[in-house]
Each structure stands twice: as C-alpha cells, then as structure tokens.
Chains A and B, each alone.
Chain A
Amino acid sequence: MAPRLPAHCWRQLALRPSATTPTTAAAAAVTTTRPSLLPNTQTRTVKTGWSTLPPRAKPHRFNQVTSGLPAPTAGPAAALQRKARTTPVRAGVLAVKKGMTVFMGRTGARIACTVLQLDRVQTVLNKTRARHGYWAVQVGMGERNPGNVGAPLLGYYEAKGMAPKEVLAEFRVRDQSGLLPVGVQLMPDWFHIGQRVDVRSNSRGMGFAGGMKRHGFSGQEASHGNSKNHRTIGSAGPSQGSGSRVLPGKKMPGRMGNQRVTIQNLPVLIADNELGILVVKGCVAGPKGAVIQVQDACKKDPPPQEWIDKSRKTLEERFPEAEAHLQAARVRHMELKEARREKRIAELMAEGVRPDEEHADAIEEILAASAKEDAAGRAPAEL
C-alpha cells in the first residue's frame, strides 16, 4: 500500500512530469519546488562541498563554539594559570658556591650559612608567552673562551652584544612584568635582606653506591653465621605466590647523588655588591664551585612591591644604554650574518664593517619600530 501523503506533497510531485515517482516519504521531502523549465542543477556536490551539519553562521562574539562554556582546565593557558601562584614574580640569578661559614648576630645568635658568589651575571634573553609559550628570563654567568663555544652560540652572543658566558640558565617568571632589559648585570642587591629564596643545584656525585649508603638500609648482621653478606641488600621481594618478580621502583644499589636538589625558603642574610656575594642561611647542595640557581621562594611571599620597583629602577639607572646597545649589536649581527652567508666575511673583516653613520641610522630605525610597537600595546620584538 502506497504511503499516505498530504495533499501539498502530491501537488509538488505533479509539477515535475519528468521526475520518477518517489517511493519513500524522505525522498519526497528533499525534493523542492522548481519550475520544470529550468535544468535541475544540484547546488551541493562533491566539488562544492557537502555536509549534513546545519549551515554555519557568520562568526560572531555570541555564537562562538566556546561561548557560555567554562574556561578549559587543560592546555597551555590553563597550565600557566595553574602554576601562576607558585611562579616567582622576579627572575633569579646564577651563582657559584664558595663555601660555608657562620653569621654571628649582635645578640649572640650563630647561624650556619652558605656563601654564594655572583660572577658577572647578565640577562641574556626574555622568553615570552607569545613566542615561547611562557614567561622566563635567561641568565648567564661567568666567562667562556670563545674557542670553546660552538658557532651557533657564538652567533647568539654576537646578537646579544656580550661575551660568551660560562653557564646559561632560565628562570620562569609569572608574567610580563618579570621580564628584564637584556644584557644588564644582576648584582647581589637584587635580593632583599631577609627575603626567602629557593636554591637549586646539583648535589655531590657519590658514584655507584650500595643499598646501605644510598637508601639507608640496615645491612645484615656481623655474625650468627653470616658469610660475606654484611652490607648486601638481602631480599628483593617475596617469592612464588606474589608473582616471583621484583616490583618496579625497588630500591637497589646504583648511582647516587649528582641530582638536581632544591632547598626551599632559605633566608638571605647578606648581599654585598663589592664582594659580589650573597649569603643564605643553611646549607646548599653540591660541592664548592658548584653552579647554583637562586630565585625568590615560590612558596613564600615575594619581597615587598616597593623593593621590587626600587631594584628594577636601580637596574635601569645603572644601565641606561642597555636597549640601544642591544639594538646596535643586533644590527651588527645582521650585517655579519649576511656576510657569512655570502662568503665575504674575510673581505668585510679586512675592510671593516659598515660606516658609523649608516649603522646609527639602522639602529634608529629599529628603535623607532620597537617604540611604535610599544605604543600599539604589544611586547617589543624579541630576537
């Protein structure tokens, strides 16, 4: 029995004499009213694209896919937000452990402390959310013979306008306000006396150590029939019935030490610019001469905001030429880079690089461009 259709459907079908009789209601529904004189051209084909989804509206602020939904709890933005509370607002410094001594107080207090020395600590790079995915300041310390630096890094320091550094390290900061001018020197007075810092370093390497030394096992007895097993670890687990296997993570002999160790919340006792030293309370992992990373403690309040502003201002007063120097170095780097690519670095070295006038013009252009970018509310271009 043929399906019973409403009268208007029959009427439509009657308009199309050439059309075959539809057998189902669905087929009847897709057919549209069209004057039979015009050719039946399909608007939706494989070529033009075809989808069963409802037609998409023009993107608008109220019809976004995410409109009305809560902010995602996973992903880069969510991760940064999650870690914001434990990310320090300021960058840290690199230092060398010089040794331990005591701090004698006026009231008879005697505090064991570690002396850290800042050896020509300079900021090298600002890492930005837009370009690198997070906010951080790269800091370098010491001096390295250019002969011991690879060509890529030589080019890197060339663009920064600074001598190759012995060590580079990165300090995450909370947001843009933590970024620093590139190339400036960070002195011990970067830290506030009494503030808490987190100190990171590699611990002393102990080599291959047994279970007693590495994990504090008790060892075995000296007598009562024990034979040649006084410091061995003994059993590594239960036998048949429990799988006859060693469970993952079983504490065993192995390499001990030389791991990254963080000591949290050490108070700063002394910060002396002349000696270049920073004295923190307590001990710090690693031998004398170890490279230490010092940054504001992530689980304590940062130093007072007035202090932060003041130290930032001091930094800018000490190095007013920082931005201009960096731009000049960048211009020189681009010239030399081009020369290297075109294999004419030898001639350039012989005849000298571009004259001063042109160089200054190029720097001014770059500075003007970056000023324009700043005015537009964007972060300055990072090299």
Chain B
Amino acid sequence: MNVAPLVRRPLGCLKASLRRTRQQKSMFTRHMASEASQTTTTTRTPPPEHGFFRLNDHKTKTLRSAFAVYPSTTVAGANTLAPPPVNALQALHEAQIKRMDPTGARTALFAKTREAAKVGDVLMVTHRRGGEPFAGVCLSIRRRGIDTAILLRNHLAKVGVEMWFKIYNKNVAGIEVVKRQRKRARRARLTYMRKPKHDFGSVEDLVFAWKRSRKVFSTGKPAAEAAKAKAKGKGAAAKKK
C-alpha cells in the first residue's frame, strides 16, 4: 500500500495555504491611502428592482426556470421610461397650425360650423407674391390638418381653370367670401360642376359687384390702401365675409 502521498498531503496543503496567505497579505494590509479611498467611496448602488418571469414545465406544471424581468420603465438606473404620446401626429398638426395661424381666423373660416365657408360658395384668394387675386367657386375642401386645402374653379378667357390653395400657407395672404350659396350643397365635393350642364362659368361679375358694394360701404379709403390692409392680416379679411 502506498501511504506516502497520504502522509505528504497535509504538508502540501499547508504549504499551499501558506503561499496563498503570503500573497494575500498585501491585499489585507490596510495602508493609509487605501483607508482614505475607502471613506470616499460612500456611494453604494442598491440592487435594481425587478420581478421574475417563470418558465413552467409543460407536463408537470412545475417551475423549470425563471428570469429577472425589469419593469418597462427602467432606464439606466432611473424609472422614467415612458411610451411616447399616441397622437403625436395630431399634436404636430396643432402645433403647426398655431404657428401659422395665431389668430385662428383661417381655421375658423373652414371649420365645420354654420358661419364657415362651404363648398359651393364663391371665394377669393389673395396671393402674397402679388398678381391678380384668384376667385372661383369652391369645389371641395380637403381637410388634412396643416395641409388643409381648397379647390376653386373659375373661367378665365372662357376656359375652365381650377386652382388648389393651401389655406395655412404664408403665400396665401387672404381668403374672402364673395358670395354664399343659397342652398347648402348636398355633396362634399362638387365635381359635377365641371360638366357643362352644371358649370358655374365665370365669377367675374360677382366679384365686380362685391367689390363695388364694398366700396359703397367703406369709409372712403382709397381702394389700393384698402387692398393693402386686407392683404396684411387675414383676421380682418375673415371678418368681412
């Protein structure tokens, strides 16, 4: 029987442990510097809070394993993670409308109210870049938040002309209601007015009459000045309808 290893073993153990203690001595001895650093490191991170997600065995219905699952609000040590607003697109529309139409006149002119302009009315749009104001029958109102637009149809030189105008665009200086339709249109889009049978024709005489009547009621201001004032603020223009 070979007893030598057994006899030698405790000695070997002792030797190894002695060697280990010798090496660890430097770790355990506290120096002045290490003590100073110990006092400075006072921040202790608490273990993060979490729940457990259990994985059960299909047959025995007993717990097979489990994983820590952190709350969905956890973000880098804070609990501030939240889903973004659902109606972000709508909020963006509102913010832009507020920026482009601070008085709310443009919104009010095409709101779904009794007083607002409707399809079938004759409208006149003044463009900021100069040129003749464009008047015509409103064939449709395309409501898309900030991108809301109206379609006007008129006859210029006996040719039918249609133009889209973005109501919140800065280039649209003013929109005025020249004539309201007597009866409410029973369609959202009056595309039938493109047919010769229903075509409204030119609105030139209507605009002319409207301008003349306005001149009668005005306080004797020169026409050019009045037009300038009109172009300046949409709020004033909207009130004149």
**Bound complex: CA A328 to CA B77 (Å):** 9
**Bound complex: CA A103 to CA B100 (Å):** 10
**Bound complex: CA A162 to CA B76 (Å):** 8
Residues of chain B in range 1-59 having any CB-CB distance to chain A below 8 Å: 41, 43-48, 50, 52-53, 55
| 0 or 1 for each of B134-167: is its CB under 8 Å from A? (1 = yes) | 0000000000111100000000000000000010
Count residues of chain B with CB under 8 A from any CB of chain A.
49
Partner of A345, one of B44, B63, B89: B63
Q: In chain B, what residue has the closest Cβ to A363?
A: B45
| A164-B69, A321-B76, A345-B63 known; A104+B84 contact, CB < 8 A | no
Interface assignment of A99: CB less than 8 Å from any CB of chain B: yes
Partner of A332, one of B48, B65, B146: B48
Q: Which of A179-187, A202-210, A225-233 sits within the interface?
A: A179-187
| A122-B75, A163-B69, A319-B75 known; A277+B84 contact, CB < 8 A | yes
Interface centre among A99, A117, A161 (most CB of B within 10 A): A161
Q: Are A328 and B45 in contact (CB under 8 A)?
A: yes
Partner of B68, one of A117, A332, A360: A332
Which residues of A lie under 8 Å from residue B224 when comparing CB positions? none
Q: Are B68 and A336 in contact (CB under 8 A)?
A: yes
Partner of B170, one of A105, A164, A333, A359: A105
Q: Are A104 and B77 in contact (CB under 8 A)?
A: no
| 0 or 1 for each of A338-353: is its CB under 8 Å from B? (1 = yes) | 0010000110010001
Interface assignment of A217: CB less than 8 Å from any CB of chain B: no
Partner of B88, one of A105, A120, A275, A349: A275
Residues of chain B in range 67-119 having any CB-CB distance to chain A below 8 Å: 67-72, 74-78, 81-85, 88-89, 91-93, 96, 99-100
Residues of chain A in range 162-190 having any CB-CB distance to chain B below 8 Å: 162-164, 181, 183-185
| A101-B145, A108-B170, A329-B48 known; A157+B70 contact, CB < 8 A | yes
| A106-B170, A115-B88, A151-B67 known; A143+B83 contact, CB < 8 A | yes
B41 vs chain A, min Cβ distance (A)? 7
Interface CB pairs A-B, < 8 A, 25: A98-B89, A101-B147, A104-B96, A104-B146, A107-B170, A108-B129, A120-B83, A122-B76, A146-B67, A154-B53, A158-B69, A162-B75, A163-B69, A275-B85, A277-B88, A319-B76, A320-B77, A324-B43, A324-B77, A327-B45, A328-B46, A345-B65, A345-B66, A356-B47, A360-B44
Interface residues of B (CB under 8 A from A): 41, 43-48, 50, 52-53, 55, 63, 65-72, 74-78, 81-85, 88-89, 91-93, 96, 99-100, 128-129, 144-147, 166, 168-171
